[in-house]
Amino acid sequence: QASRLVALPYSSFDDDDDGDAAEQDPEVWNPDPTKPSPFSHCVRYLAFLWNLLFLLLGLLTLAVGVWGLLAKSPPPGEERGVPLGSDPMLFFVLVGLGASAVSLAGCLGAVRASPCLLRFFLGAMLTFGGLEVLGGLLLLLARRRLQDALQDLLLLCLLRYQEDPDLQFLVDEVQRSLQCCGLESYRDWESNPYFNCSAPGAQACGVPASCCRDPLENGSVPNVQCGFGGLGLGPAAAGAVLHTGGCGAALTAWLRGQAGAIAAGATALVLVEAVGALLALRVLRDV
């Protein structure tokens, strides 16, 4: 009887039967993907809220920068007093745009579980973190050059004191808080074309009111003319009414005293970015 067994020929109906079985029971071939755990949902929502907070901060920074640029925009037909490329408010605009774009990618990537947006967010966080660490190392290695650059920046602020309201506010705050005047001494204001003794106007041969020892002069409103004629006084007479010491050395000493706080702030910023990157990495792994 074994010799009478004949092998049946191959038939395509066998494949059809297998296909029919797969169609009748699709779970055999296409099982449902693993559902995210409650912990994964919690991480996703936390990543969304984390990036939403920084999105709002970025939009606020952007709004401040745009407001500053619009407030200093000249009337139609007049030239802009400060070039747009050197306007300090442009820094706020660029920082706000960058922070908003990256945070928005993180928000949408966490909500929609988009691998593309999450990878973009992670790449941006790694880039920002690397640049911050590299900048910190350069500051430590080139402290002398940093001091020289700071001196040049202060001198530029003195020269453009009346031209840019932002620089004027910055110089006044530095001189008022550190009780100093000029770069090396109050005589540095002679390099300003408006305070030079040969310049026309009431400010000639004077210094800003932020150099005065007592700008209120026993009143309730600061006297903006308290520094008028200060450059025409001798060292002893000027020292009685003005802060004659320069701001270069005072600012350098202040920065050295705040080195610990600056390092702590930079470390906290890197840690915040690292937490956001870890949350995005966990969401990306669950996608």
The proportion of the chain whose per-residue pLDDT surpasses 70, expressed as a percent, equals: 82
The whole-number average pLDDT for the span 258-286 is 87
242 touches 227 (CB < 8 A): yes
Confidence of residue 53 (pLDDT cuts 50, 70, 90): very high
Q: What is the pLDDT of residue 59?
A: 95
Whole-model pTM: value is 0.68
Q: Give pLDDT tens digits for 14-47.
A: 545 554 544 555 444 545 555 667 777 788 889 9
- Is the predicted pLDDT of residue 120 greater than 90, yes or no? yes
pLDDT for 77 equals 57
CA-to-CA separations, 107 to 32, 51, 84, 94, 102, in angstroms, rounded: 27, 6, 32, 20, 9
| pLDDT for 27 | 47
In the prediction, which pLDDT does 202 show? 82
Average pLDDT over the chain, rounded to whole?
A: 81
Domains along the chain with CATH numbers: 39-70+87-144+261-286 (no CATH), 157-253 (1.10.1450.10)
**Out of 45-59, 95-109, 146-160, 181-195, which region has the weakest mean confidence (pLDDT)?**
146-160
pLDDT of amino acid 211? 92
243-261: pLDDT as tens digits? 989 898 888 888 888 888 8
At 4, list the tokens: 């009478």
Proportion of the chain above pLDDT 90, given as a percent:
21
Mean pLDDT value of segment 146-168 = 82
- Residues 168-175, mean pLDDT to the nearest whole number: 89
Range from 69-73, 173-177, 183-187 carrying the lowest mean pLDDT? 69-73
